[in-house]
């Protein structure tokens, strides 16, 4: 079977970046000058990303082990490298720009967890690891595991959050250019992750139950940001999700 995943690895190799090469000097100077409302909003989104990127970065081994061929396995490996960088980037911004206290990423994560909705924490720190564990036990379940990770968490939750973060940064009274740059680069990486996941779903035989699950999970997941995301942003994310599933050959309406 020609699965053609290799081009995602080539793409990933060509767009590598280094979170420590971004200049955060202006961000550090701007942070204290933001209004309280602005800081609260940026910190709320940042908390979600720190939790999400640490969580997803830790789960890809089960996906790699369940890969159907070498090219798919290489993609999961390239993706794990990206997710680890995303986790480092958001932690760096939390520590160096936003001044989140803690000596280690885990300690800062504990502080930030209080700012995230319990639904977001549950999705990323309970349901995703459970899915990865089931995948590790039974490698047959790859499609629904990719459905949760790539289509729902990355395609709906993280993509909508990244758009909300960029819109928030664009509207601040003082610019945070380093953070803006990094979020744009994260978004660029996530696009190929979602494209890769869509390709896996497209290549699989999806039963109606799996298709319904991908839609239902997304509807719940789209709300985990609480009031950090507008109704419009949630609707847009869901519309794109349905379009992506449809493009992957899934029909349920
Ligand atoms: Fe990521
Ligand atoms: Fe990703």
Taking the CA atoms of 22, 26, 32 and 34 in sequence, report the sign of the dihedral they define.
negative
CA 97 to ligand 1 centroid distance, Å: 20
CA 249 to ligand 2 centroid distance, Å: 22
Spatial distance between the Cα atoms of 67 and 239, rounded to a whole number of angstroms: 29
CA 83 to ligand 1 centroid distance, Å: 4
pLDDT value for 87? 98
Spatial distance between the Cα atoms of 243 and 253, rounded to a whole number of angstroms: 12
Q: Tens of pLDDT along 186-199?
A: 999 999 999 999 99
CA 186 to ligand 2 centroid distance, Å: 8
Contact call for residues 134 and 159 (beta carbons, < 8 A): no
How is the chain split into domains, by residue range?
A: 23-247
Please determine, for residue 253, whether its predicted confidence score (pLDDT) is greater than 80.
Answer: no
CA 75 to ligand 1 centroid distance, Å: 14
CA 190 to ligand 1 centroid distance, Å: 6
Contact call for residues 226 and 121 (beta carbons, < 8 A): no
Q: Tens of pLDDT along 80-127?
A: 999 999 999 999 999 999 999 999 999 999 999 999 999 999 999 999
Of the ligands numbered here, which is closest to the C-alpha atom of 154?
2
pLDDT value for 141? 87
- Mean per-residue pLDDT for 217-232? 93
CATH 3.40.50.620 fits 23-247, yes or no: no
CA 86 to ligand 1 centroid distance, Å: 5
CA 79 to ligand 1 centroid distance, Å: 8
pLDDT value for 113? 95
């Amino acid at each position: 079977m020609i699965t053609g995943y290799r081009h995602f690895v080539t793409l990933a190799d060509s767009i590598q970046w280094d979170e420590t090469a971004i200049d955060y000097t202006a961000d550090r100077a701007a942070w204290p000058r933001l209004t309280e409302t602005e800081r609260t909003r940026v910190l709320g989104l940042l908390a979600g990303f720190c939790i999400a990127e640490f969580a997803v970065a830790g789960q890809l081994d089960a996906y790699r082990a369940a890969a159907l061929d070498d090219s798919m396995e290489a993609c999961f490996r390239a993706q794990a490298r990206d997710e680890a960088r995303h986790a480092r980037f958001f932690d760096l911004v939390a520590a160096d720009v936003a001044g989140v206290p803690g000596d280690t990423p885990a300690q800062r994560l504990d502080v930030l967890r209080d700012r995230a909705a319990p639904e977001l924490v549950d999705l990323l720190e309970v349901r995703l690891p459970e899915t990865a564990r089931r995948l590790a036990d039974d490698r047959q379940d790859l499609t629904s595991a990719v459905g949760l990770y790539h289509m729902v968490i990355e395609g709906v939750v993280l993509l909508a959050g990244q758009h909300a973060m960029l819109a928030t940064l664009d509207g601040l009274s003082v610019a945070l250019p380093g953070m803006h740059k990094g979020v744009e680069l994260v978004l660029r990486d996530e696009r190929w992750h979602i494209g890769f996941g869509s390709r896996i779903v497209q290549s699989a035989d999806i039963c109606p139950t799996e298709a319904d699950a991908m839609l239902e999970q997304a509807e719940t997941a789209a709300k985990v940001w609480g009031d950090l995301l507008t109704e419009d942003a949630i609707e847009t994310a869901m519309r794109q999700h349905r379009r992506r599933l449809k493009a992957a050959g899934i029909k349920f309406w």
